[in-house]
């Protein structure tokens, strides 16, 4: 029970303190949600947020300290309809009650969150977020499509970073509506145009905003278009804390558009440095190789084969001469032995030659009718015509009779 002030006339501080204790002791005011329109919004250099919530009848002062403000998933804006959660207290120096905001969200965000989670679960079950279906980005893209608003800060950042890091890549800006009711259809058309252009990679993104501002990138049609796109897609929607369905289905998610530009291309400075290092290594390797070959050549030049070739060849030439002499002697001996054998064979042939026999007074008798050799009396009956061969010709003869018996 709160005690009453002891004096009948209260001071301002006493009354203010009493009201502060009264309000802060009411459990209903310790966890309260208030819907209203942001008014008089001010972001202090300390990071605290000061604003009011108003409706058609009343105005409520609000304070959101830095820690709570940094955890908000949207950027509060003047005139925005929100639902704030916190507790009521009294700021004694000004004698006013106010809402100490712990968190808040755009009005209607609860329904968007439910839709987001439902679609996320359904697409995940279909495998649209599966890591194994995500395609690697080309290491050195020759052409890049930027599907984003042509007037936002995001496109300027991306163009500057891409041009600085890798000027060899051609950039194609595909103007895209990234917020509002027309955004989903515009995103689908931009993805189709980029794919038909045959670029190597697509950057799809926009700068930060509230969940409602970014909602086009949570539409199912956009997610399925990214999934079906034949070109690798990098999604860069909002700030690092913003996660969209497009981020989950894309081949690569970048926390910001600027980060996306850095992820899709190499840094030409690093490449040139790497190439310079490779050139130095190659030059050093070639110099080492040339030095090694030079030393080897110098050693070869001192080899007797080059300094005194005749000294190396002399023993071999002598061996060749000796081998030639031995070969000639062997061949001569073989020829002499062959000639002796030939002479003996010639003598044997002469001894067996019938002409030599006829020269010694013998004759060769053949029957004239068939040329058969007559070497027995029975082969030459009486009346048989014979041809008698002697050393200088033949003599015809006829058998007049026959006589059996020894010749000698």
Taking the C-alpha atoms of residue 30 and residue 334, their distance in angstroms, rounded to an integer, is 133
- The answer to whether position 155 is within a domain reads yes
**31 lies in which domain range?**
12-107
Could you tell me the pLDDT band of residue 185, with boundaries at 50, 70 and 90? very high
Confidence tier at 4 by pLDDT (50, 70, 90):
low
- The verdict on 125 and 257 lying in the same domain is yes
Can you tell me the mean pLDDT for 156-165?
94
Question: What is the model's pTM?
Answer: 0.50
Residues 116 and 253 in one domain: yes
pLDDT at res. 133: 94
Taking only the tens place, the pLDDT of each residue in 224-260 is 999 999 999 999 998 887 889 999 999 999 999 999 9
Helix (H) or strand (E) holding 119, with range, is helix 109-126
The stretch 282-295 carries a mean pLDDT of 88
The CATH number covering residue 32 comes to 2.40.50.140
The predicted pLDDT at position 5 comes to 53
Instruction: Give the per-residue pLDDT at 406.
Output: 59
At 100-144, the pLDDT tens digits run 999 998 887 667 777 888 999 999 999 999 999 999 999 999 999
How high does pLDDT run on average in the chain? 88
Q: pLDDT at position 176, please? A: 96
What confidence score (pLDDT) does residue 222 get? 97
C-alpha–C-alpha distance, residues 277 and 63, integer Å: 57
Cα 173 off chain centre by: 28
- Residues 2 and 363: their CA atoms lie apart, in Å, by 180
219 in a domain, yes or no?
A: yes
Axis-axis angle for helices 153-165, 257-264 (nearest 10): 20
**pLDDT single digits (tens) 346-364:** 878 777 777 777 777 788 8
Q: 97 and 133 share a domain?
A: no
User: Is the Cβ–Cβ distance between 4 and 22 less than 8 Å?
Assistant: no
Reported confidence tier of residue 210, pLDDT bands at 50, 70, 90: confident
Beta bridge partners of 172: 145
In a domain, 164, yes or no: yes
- CATH number (domain holding residue 137): 3.40.50.261
Token pair listed for 408: 């000698």
Per the structure, how many domains does the chain have? Answer: 4
Q: What's the confidence (pLDDT) of residue 280?
A: 84
Query: Are 108 and 82 within 8 A, CB to CB?
Result: no
Summarised one tens digit per residue, pLDDT across range 375-399 is 888 888 888 998 988 888 888 989 8
Q: Looking at the structure, tell me whether residues 178 and 307 fall in a common domain.
A: no
Q: What's the average model confidence in pLDDT over 19-43?
A: 90
The dihedral over CA atoms of 72, 77, 82, 86, expressed in degrees to the nearest 10, equals: 50
């Amino acid at each position: 029970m709160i005690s009453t002030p002891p004096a009948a006339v209260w001071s301002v501080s006493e009354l203010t303190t009493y009201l502060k204790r009264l309000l802060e002791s009411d459990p209903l005011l310790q966890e309260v949600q208030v819907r209203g329109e942001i008014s008089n919004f001010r972001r202090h250099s300390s990071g605290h947020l000061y604003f009011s919530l108003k409706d058609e009848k009343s105005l409520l002062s609000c304070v959101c300290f830095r820690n709570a403000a940094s955890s908000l998933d949207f950027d509060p804006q003047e005139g925005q309809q929100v639902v704030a959660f916190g507790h009521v207290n009294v700021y004694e120096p000004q004698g006013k009650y106010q809402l100490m905001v712990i968190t808040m969200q755009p009005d209607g965000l609860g329904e968007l969150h439910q839709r987001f989670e439902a679609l996320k679960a359904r697409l995940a079950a279909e495998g649209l977020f599966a890591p194994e279906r995500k395609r690697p980005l080309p290491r050195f893209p020759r052409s890049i499509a930027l599907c984003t608003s042509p007037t936002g800060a995001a496109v300027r950042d991306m163009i500057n970073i891409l041009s600085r890091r890798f000027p060899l890549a051609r950039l194609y800006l595909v103007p895209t509506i990234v917020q509002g009711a027309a955004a989903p259809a515009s995103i689908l058309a931009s993805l189709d145009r980029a794919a038909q252009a045959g670029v190597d990679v697509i950057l799809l993104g926009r700068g930060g905003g509230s969940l409602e501002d970014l909602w086009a990138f949570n539409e199912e049609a956009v997610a399925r278009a990214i999934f079906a796109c034949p070109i690798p897609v990098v999604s860069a929607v909002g700030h690092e804390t913003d996660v969209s369905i497009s981020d989950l289905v894309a081949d690569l998610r970048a926390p910001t558009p600027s980060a996306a530009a850095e992820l899709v291309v190499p840094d030409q400075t690093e490449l040139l440095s790497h190439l310079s290092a490779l050139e130095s290594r190659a030059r050093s390797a070639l110099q080492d190789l040339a030095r090694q070959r030079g030393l080897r050549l110098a050693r070869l030049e001192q080899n007797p084969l080059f300094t005194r070739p005749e000294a190396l060849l002399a023993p071999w030439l002598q061996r060749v001469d000796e081998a030639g002499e031995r070969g000639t002697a062997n061949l001569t001996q073989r020829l002499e032995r062959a000639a002796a054998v030939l002479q003996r064979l010639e003598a044997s042939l002469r001894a067996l030659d019938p002409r030599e026999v006829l020269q010694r007074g013998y004759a060769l008798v053949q029957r004239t009718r068939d040329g058969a050799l007559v070497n027995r009396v029975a082969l030459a009956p009486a009346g048989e015509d014979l041809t008698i061969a002697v050393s200088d010709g033949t003599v015809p003869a006829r058998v007049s009779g026959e006589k059996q018996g020894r010749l000698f």
